[in-house]
Structure 1
Amino acid sequence: MTLKWYWVDTYSEEDIELLNTHKIKNKPISPELATGIYGFSEHPTDSFMSEKSFIDDVQMGLNYEDGKYFGEFNRIYNNLKGDSAKLAGENIEIIGAVVTGTPKELAELNDMDMIRATVLGVTVKPY
């Protein structure tokens, strides 16, 4: 099994409370939108996919106050840095991951307590 990508926890306490109020029988009403999921690669093939690049991109987004996504960059920056003076790697918490592997390898995750939800993406035969 191979870890490919980390999903960064960009949620505030208020975000989590709001998400929790929109559940039926402890299940979300709908899945998280891809536009609200942020992260970086475990072993980036290019530096733009690294944790450092993720932090740099968030900080760069704060330079465009008139930009379409400034509010989102500001929200993410403030949620990640918390009480720290600035955003750094130690501020980043991971809430999910993308892993790849064979069906047998992935089946081993089924009974692990740390796994709260899973989604099977695409399966392909080895080339």
Structure 2
Amino acid sequence: MEELGLDPNGDSTEVADPKLRAQRYGMAYAAGFIAKKCSRLGARTDTITEDVADDARWIRLLSRGGLTVPTRRWLGLFSEMEATFCAVHQGQGQLRRNKQPDHLSRKPGVVRGLVARLRAVAAE
């Protein structure tokens, strides 16, 4: 969470770096996309009645009423899941042309292990 510049309480913090801000906005958009599949994780921009996380407010500007804004709780959980995914795959994978790993582990059982860790994160 800290490496992404996110407050562990799920409240937004000011991010000065445009790259990190774009990453957080993208994460909010992806969380909203998933929330559309599970209505309890978000609300359509034309029916929002609750307070929206700062990182998701720009979705309302883009939307003509059909996009889904994630709830604060879901966006926080989604961010934790992203950090867990990065931790599992960090420094692993095949080398790219620039000799840097692609950060995708190909070990046997990696998906099963990741799912177990994500379930533990979600249960907290």
- TM-score between the two structures when normalised by the length of structure 2: 0.26
As a proportion of its length, which structure holds more helix? 2
As a proportion of its length, which structure holds more strand? 1
Larger radius of gyration: 1
Higher relative contact order (CA 8 A, sep 6+): 1
